[in-house]
């Protein structure tokens, strides 16, 4: 007996359900599974290459032979798909980025190698010109340095077709040009790639969190302080993200993406609630770097922090997450089930 009068105690005690693991499990609203993970990989020329990315501890750029080993590892972990990011040698870069649609380019060879090694693994390619341009912008420039929209879209169509032809399952335009999803969709239908899916980087923000990625693929170039603000979205905007997603879905996108992740979870929630479409989040290089740095210093616990960050992205409404932590997370999820 507590010896207390009626009304002196809380009738509803939310802590009751939290007391034991079994009841915590019974009322758990969201889950994270290996099905939700996509692993981004940087690919370099050469053989037997594994070159660490300094600003992304634990992440390496790998040559195509090593990429095949990575693909086998991902399949063994149960990860459904990988996303390829080629590191273009300086001599292959140009002002117009035409290496992007070279059928024998690094990206195209990488796609074929992965599909040959592990046919069931989904292969996603990045459609944008920045790894191939000397100036590091995602498109073709006019004399003033402005990225020309429609000329760039024509280049992106060629790039996307070359990826589809190489066997990419999903092409993912990350360039933020207007009208590129519709143009790519139409060209792929006409060329016989009706089943090649499009994952649109719909709400891609002009974020400072892409710094380590640009180190990894060497695309920082001489990006001036103008950066990519004339095509990537202003971090101050939220309604505009819904307009971008609406257009990409109308134009034929199968999946949409919000990028970066943790700083933009409000956008993820709005997009999922508004459209109910397959929605993905890119937990980008800078988010990885922040967590990895604190983990390396012993300031954060790796497993619990990484899983919490990924679960938060799921809770916000994402169906899946592109994350550099995918392999580690898959390993933990496997061992805990």
Q: Is 231 in the site for ligand PBG (CB under 6 A)?
A: no
* Cβ–Cβ under 8 Å, residues 123 and 164: no
Looking at the Cβ atoms of 117 and 211, the one nearer to ligand PBG is: 211
* Residue 259 designated active-site: yes
Q: Is 99 in the site for ligand PBG (CB under 6 A)?
A: no
Q: Does 214 sit near ligand PBG (CB under 6 A)?
A: yes
Q: Long-range contacts for 239-246 (Cβ within 8 Å, ≥24 apart)?
A: 241/202, 241/203, 241/267, 241/270, 241/271, 242/270, 242/271, 242/274, 244/202, 244/203, 245/202, 245/203, 245/271, 245/274, 245/275, 245/277, 246/275
Among 284, 291, 306, 326, binds ligand PBG (CB under 6 A): 284
Question: Interacting stretch for ligand PBG, rule CB under 6 A, among 206-214, 299-307, 308-316, 329-337?
Answer: 206-214
Please give the Cα distance from 112 to 238 (Å, whole number): 38
Q: Indicate if 334 belongs to the active site.
A: no
Helices (H) and strands (E) in the chain, counts: 12, 12
* Interface with ligand PBG, residue 205, by CB under 6 A: no
Q: Is 130 an interacting residue with respect to ligand PBG (CB under 6 A)? A: yes
Verify binding: residue 285, ligand PBG, rule CB under 6 A. yes
Region from 46-54, 123-131, 246-254, 290-298 binding ligand PBG, contact rule CB under 6 A: 123-131
Residues in the chain: 337
CA distances from 326 to 59, 246, 297 (A): 11, 29, 21
CB closer to ligand PBG out of 67 and 284: 284
- Closest contact distance (angstroms) between CB of 30 and ligand PBG is 24
- Which region among 41-49, 73-81, 207-215, 233-241 touches ligand PBG (by CB under 6 A)? 207-215
Compute the distance between CA of residue 106 and CA of residue 197 in angstroms, rounded to an integer: 21
Cα separation of 150 and 132, whole Å? Answer: 18
Quote the least distance from Cβ 155 to ligand PBG, whole Å: 13
Q: Does 98 bind ligand PBG (CB under 6 A)?
A: no
Q: Which of 93, 115, 228, 259 is catalytic?
A: 259
Q: Are 192 and 167 in contact (CB under 8 A)?
A: no
Hey, how many other C-beta atoms are within 10 angstroms of the C-beta on 64?
19
With CB under 6 A as the rule, give the number of residues binding ligand PBG. 10
Q: What whole-number distance in Å separates Cα of residue 58 and Cα of residue 78?
A: 20
Smallest gap, in angstroms, from Cβ of residue 25 to ligand PBG? 33
Among 42, 193, 205, 213, binds ligand PBG (CB under 6 A): 213
CB nearer ligand PBG, residue 17 or residue 37: 37
Q: Please tell me the distance from the alpha carbon of residue 48 to that of residue 35, in angstroms, as a whole number.
A: 29
Question: Contact between 264 and ligand PBG (CB under 6 A)?
Answer: no
Taking the C-alpha atoms of residue 212 and residue 58, their distance in angstroms, rounded to an integer, is: 13
Task: Work out how close the CB of 73 gets to ligand PBG at its nearest, in angstroms, rounded to a whole number.
Answer: 20
Q: Is the CB of 66 or the CB of 138 nearer to ligand PBG?
A: 138
Decide if residue 138 touches ligand PBG (CB under 6 A): yes
The answer to whether the annotation marks 91 as part of a ligand binding site is no
Distances (CA, A) of 330 to 36, 78, 80, 177, 333: 10, 7, 11, 34, 5
Positions touching ligand PBG (CB under 6 A) are 126, 128, 130, 138, 174, 210, 213-214, 284-285
**Which residues belong to the annotated binding site?**
244
Residues designated as active site: 204, 259
């Amino acid at each position: 007996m507590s010896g207390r009068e009626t009304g002196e105690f809380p009738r509803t005690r939310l802590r009751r359900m939290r007391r034991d693991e079994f009841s915590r499990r019974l009322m758990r609203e969201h889950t994270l599974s290996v099905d939700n993970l996509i692993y981004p990989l940087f690919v370099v020329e050469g053989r037997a290459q594994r070159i660490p990315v300094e600003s992304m501890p634990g992440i390496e750029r790998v040559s195509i032979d090593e990429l095949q080993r990575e693909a086998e590892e991902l399949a063994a972990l149960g990860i459904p798909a990988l996303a390829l990011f080629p590191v273009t040698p300086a001599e292959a870069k140009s002002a117009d980025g035409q290496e992007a649609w070279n059928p024998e380019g690094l990206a195209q060879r990488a796609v074929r190698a992965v599909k040959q090694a592990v046919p069931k693994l989904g292969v996603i390619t990045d459609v944008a010109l920045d790894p191939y341009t000397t100036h590091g912008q995602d498109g073709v420039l006019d004399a003033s340095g402005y990225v020309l929209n429609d000329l760039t879209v024509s280049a992106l169509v060629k790039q996307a077709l070359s990826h589809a032809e190489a066997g990419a399952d999903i092409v993912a335009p990350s360039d933020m040009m207007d009208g590129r999803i519709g143009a790519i969709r139409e060209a792929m239908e006409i060329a016989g790639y009706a089943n090649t899916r499009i994952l649109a980087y719909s709400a891609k923000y002009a974020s400072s969190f892409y710094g380590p990625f640009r180190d990894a693929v060497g695309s920082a170039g001489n990006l001036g302080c103008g950066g990519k603000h004339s095509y990537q979205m202003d971090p101050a905007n939220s309604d505009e993200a819904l307009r971008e997603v609406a257009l990409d879905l109308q134009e034929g996108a199968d999946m949409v993406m919000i990028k970066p992740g943790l700083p933009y979870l409000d956008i993820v929630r709005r997009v999922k609630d508004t459209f109910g479409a397959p929605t993905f989040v890119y937990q980008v290089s800078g988010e990885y770097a922040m967590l990895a740095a604190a983990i390396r210093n012993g300031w954060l616990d790796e497993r619990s922090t990484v899983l919490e960050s990924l679960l938060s992205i799921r809770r916000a409404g994402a169906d899946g997450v592109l994350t550099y932590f995918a392999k580690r997370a898959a390993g933990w999820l496997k061992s805990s089930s």
